[in-house]
Structure formats: structure tokens, C-alpha cells
Structure 1
Amino acid sequence: MKRTPWFLWLSAGAGFVFLWVPIVSLVVYSFNASKLVTVWAGFSTRWYGELLRDQQVIDAVWVSLRVALASASLAVALGTLAALVLVRFGRFWGKPILRGMAAAPLVMPEVLLGLSLLLLFVTMERVVGWPQGRGIVTIVIAHTTFCLAYVAVVVQSRLADMDDSLEEAARDLGAGPVRVFFDVTLPLIAPALIAGWLLAFTLSLDDLVVASFATGPGASTLPIVIFSKVRLGVSPDINALATIILVVVALGVALAGLAMRRRN
């Protein structure tokens, strides 16, 4: 049996240490009794209690969840329509423009995207009177704009690999276009829709730059609140919040892996 070179083990170990040591230290210091993050003063869960009593963080969590749910759902609906047009429709005037507009948020810097959306919202409010100010609605519109591109790419790849003969057989049996879509196409692309929704939900929940341009007073998402707190110095309650997010994500990944393993 061929032995693995020692430098590969060393490189892998160094990579895991680089990735996991900061995360482990964050989790450990979330149970620190001291207010100083880098000074260990004994084991305590007081900061988790302080976090649960922080109304600003709780409100930010609910705002982020509402925005992410709405943005992901709208992105899936619009991204699926864009993917259908790009894959199933033939050549028509404006198709290259539509393809470029659908892919632009993937490569456009977030600062540029956020600034352009801010100018759009200000201009719309001045011309048509909507939206009045910036808040949850403008954040949802902004997040839907860049999440739509990711969903379109995922669904487009699935549609390109799908067998068209199944839809043609349904049409030959008398099904109309709408029924073919809901009875044949939609179930076949359902895994791509779920993957696109989860990707859009994660991107919306994690976004800071675009949301900071699109938001206004009283509509701060969780990344914005965390960033504002960290600018004044990292506190143990932020470590507690990061630990809770880490645990939730780890449980979600574990449950998804278990479900996939049972299915296989």
C-alpha cells in the first residue's frame, strides 16, 4: 500500500488548525465569567442570559428571519421564471441582455450593488412616493435582487440537464402547458428549487453590505447589529451569539446529512 506523504498530513493538519482553533476559542470564551474577552475568569453561562435579555439582538434576529424568508421565496419564484426563459425559449431580441442582467449580481461588487439600490430607492420615493423611507421592504427588494441570480443559475443548470421527452410525452397525452409545468417540470426541478431557496436564505441571512445601504432606522438585521457592537469591541455576549449560530448551523448540517444518508 502506498503511504501518504507526511507533508500532506502536515498541510491538512495546519489547515484544520487554522480554521477551527479560532472557532473553538470563540466557543470557549463564550462561557467566560469575565467581561474581558481575552481574560479567563472561570466558567459561567451569564452571557447567554444577557443575550436573551438583549432586546436589540432579539429584534434583529426576527427582522433577519423575516427578510430572509421573504427574499428567498421571491428569489425562487423570479429566478425560476428567469431560468425557464433562458433555457426553454428560443432566440429572441433581448435574451443576451436578460442573461447578462441575471448574472450581473454574481460578479458585481456588493458595495456597487448596494449603492445603486440606494439611489434607486431614493429616486423612486422622490418621483412616485414609494417606498416611504427605507426598512424591511427595501431590504427584501435588495436581497431578492442578488439572490435571484444564484437561484437562476442553480435552476438553469437543472433544466438544461432535464430530459425534455417527459414533458413532450405529457403534452402528447393531452396535458396543457400549465399542467405539464406543475405535474412534470416542477417535481423534476424540485431539488434545484430547494437548493436555490436554501442558498438564497443563507445569503440573505448573512448579508451586511447590501443591507446597510438598503435599511433605515428601526430595521436593523442581525449582521448590522453584530457589526455595530463589534466596532466598539468584542464582548462575551457576541461570543455567545456566535456560538448559538454555530450550533444551529451544525445541527442543520447534521440533520441534512442524516436525511441524505437514510435516503441513499
Structure 2
Amino acid sequence: MRRFSWFNATSLTLGFAFLYLPMVILVIFSFNESKLVTVWAGFSTKWYGELIQNDAFLDAAWVTVKVAVLSSTFATVLGTMAAYVLVRGGRFYGRTLFSGMIYAPLVMPEVITGLSLLLLFIAIGFDRGVMTIVLAHTTFSMCYVSVVVSSRLVSFDKSLEEAALDLGCTPFDAFKSVTLPIIAPAVISGWLLAFTLSLDDLVIASFTSGPSSTTLPIKIFSAVRLGVSPEINALSTIMIGIVTVGVLTASLVTKRSIAMRQKEEQKADQ
């Protein structure tokens, strides 16, 4: 029985073309000489030079990177702790509610999340700025970290921790010296995923940002409403490159984690 037919090949080609052809066109026209984004006038990199001299975009890029690094770091710490409690905590009072609160942002619409956080910050009198965006991004990205780390902890050999405890380690020392190095690839993957999600978020950041904390997606969206310029094409190309590198890095780290887990299982079988 043939599993790969011409119909499957055609469907797959059309699907990938629908998803990625617009991105390819955007990247190509970012090197366009003309100011018109739909008319090709020759190869040029001048719009990247213009972009470097645009202080508004550079300030927004700095805010975006700062928010992404801080929020992904906080989300990784909190998500790892939540995953450890869910996997190793057993059954405790309120576990169902706790797990539901952890995974709720996965299915919650971003508009609802952003609006609820906005109302919260207004109610407590917290001025909107970089920290409010960081808190908002940490809220919705820590659940993704928790899912990634939980999947690694489920298959983790608990006898390694028990051996460390038998040799005199405290639970914290056992986690730091044994558990954390083994699940480190999953933790790094969670950090990269949270960083990527924060880097291109628009909806939640638009609700929680202040006048002096405009992120790059918000800046691009505001500029596009007045017309697409070649500088936006260049900036979007750079963002696509950054996200692509992040996704590829996360994929490589995940593959390495799987390979390490397979080696551990082979050693255990021997």
C-alpha cells in the first residue's frame, strides 16, 4: 500500500506554500531598491541601513529583547517549579485546581488574558510599563515551559534521586546536582519557547504596555496601518531570522535531550 501519493504530495506542497510563500516574498522584497514594496527595482540592502538609523524602531527592539529575556527567565523558573510539583507532588489537596490554573493560558484567548491583566494593573494602581509586560508575558508563557519540563520529568528515573538521597544529599542538593542537569535540555527548550512567544506577542503587550514601553510588534503594527514601507520588510525579515534560529535551537536541544534519554535507558537495561 502506497502511503505517499501524488495527492498527498500536492496537498503538502500547497499547504507549505500557503504558509511560507508570503514570508519568502517578504524576505525577497526587503532587499528591493524601490520604495514601493510591490515593485521590484533591483537588489539593495539600503533599507537595512535605514533601519539601523531609525531610533524609534531601535528603542522598540531594545524593549522587546529586554522583555523577552526577563519574562522567559521568570517563566522558566516558575514553570519548572510548577512542573516539578505536578509530577513529583503526588495527589494533594487542590491539585486539580492548581493544574487547571497552570494550563489555563494555553486555551485562554489572548484578548481575555490581556484585558484581565490590564484591569488587574489598574485596580492595584500599577503603572503600565516594561514590568507590566514582563509580568503579562510570564503569565502566559510559563504554562508552555511547564508542559515541556513535565514531559521530561515523567520519564525521569527517580532511582537516581533516591540514590543521591541515600548518599546524604538533601532534597534540594539532589535536585540541583542530579535532577536539574538531566532535565536541563528540557528547561532550555522551555526558555527558548517562552522567549520566542514573548518576542512576537502583540495582543497581550498592546493591553499591558505604557507610553514609554512600546514593543517591536506594536511598533510594526502601528506603522503598517499607515502603509507598508521597505524598512518594515527589513525589520520583519530580521525578526523571522531570530525566531527561526530560536526554533531550530529548541529543536536541536530537544533532539539532544531525546538522545540522552535513550542512552540512559540503554544503560539502565544493561
TM-score by length of 2: 0.88
Partner of 1:105: 105
CA distance in 1, matches of 2:98, 2:109: 19
SS at structure 1 position matched to 2:65: helix
- Is the aligned partner of 1:33 residue 2:27? no
Partner of 2:267: none
- Residue identity opposite 1:222 in structure 2: L
Partner of 1:175: 169
- Structure 1: 5+ residue stretches without partners: 126-130
CA distance in 1, matches of 2:3, 2:114: 51
Partner of 2:184: 190
Of 214, 218, 224, which aligns to 1:224? Answer: 218
Deviations 1:219-246, CA, capped at 9 Å, x for gaps: 0111100111111111111111122223
Partner of 2:118: 118
Alpha-carbon shift at residue 213 of structure 1 (Å):
0.6
Partner of 2:239: 245
- Residue identity opposite 1:166 in structure 2: L
CA distance in 2, matches of 1:187, 1:38: 50
CA distance in 1, matches of 2:254, 2:102: 31
TM-score by length of 1: 0.89
With 23-32 and 137-146 compared, the bigger mean Cα shift is at: 23-32
CA distance in 2, matches of 1:258, 1:162: 20
Alpha-carbon shift at residue 41 of structure 1 (Å):
2.6
- Residue identity opposite 2:8 in structure 1: L
Alpha-carbon shift at residue 7 of structure 1 (Å):
2.0
Deviations 1:202-259, CA, capped at 9 Å, x for gaps: 1111111011111010101111001111111111111111222233444556677788
SS at structure 1 position matched to 2:214: coil
Give percent identity, aligned residues only: 60
Deviations 1:43-101, CA, capped at 9 Å, x for gaps: 32221111111111101111111101000110111111111111111322222111111
Alpha-carbon shift at residue 23 of structure 1 (Å):
2.0
Partner of 1:51: 51
SS at structure 2 position matched to 1:41: coil
Count residues with an aligned counterpart.
Answer: 258
Partner of 1:7: 7
Residues 70 and 178 of structure 1, relative CA distance in 2, 3 Å threshold = same
Alpha-carbon shift at residue 106 of structure 1 (Å):
0.7
CA distance in 1, matches of 2:11, 2:235: 31
- Structure 2: 5+ residue stretches without partners: 260-270
With 92-101 and 210-219 compared, the bigger mean Cα shift is at: 92-101
SS at structure 1 position matched to 2:124: helix
Residues 151 and 45 of structure 1, relative CA distance in 2, 3 Å threshold = same
- Residue identity opposite 1:233 in structure 2: G
CA distance in 1, matches of 2:165, 2:248: 41
Partner of 2:158: 164
Alpha-carbon shift at residue 174 of structure 1 (Å):
1.3
| Conservation of the 8 A alpha-carbon contact between 2:33 and 2:40 | yes
Deviations 1:105-137, CA, capped at 9 Å, x for gaps: 111110000000001101111xxxxx3x21000
Partner of 2:195: 201
CA distance in 1, matches of 2:94, 2:134: 27
- Residue identity opposite 2:202 in structure 1: L
CA distance in 2, matches of 1:246, 1:171: 46
Alpha-carbon shift at residue 4 of structure 1 (Å):
4.5
Residues 252 and 120 of structure 1, relative CA distance in 2, 3 Å threshold = closer
- Is the aligned partner of 1:145 residue 2:165? no
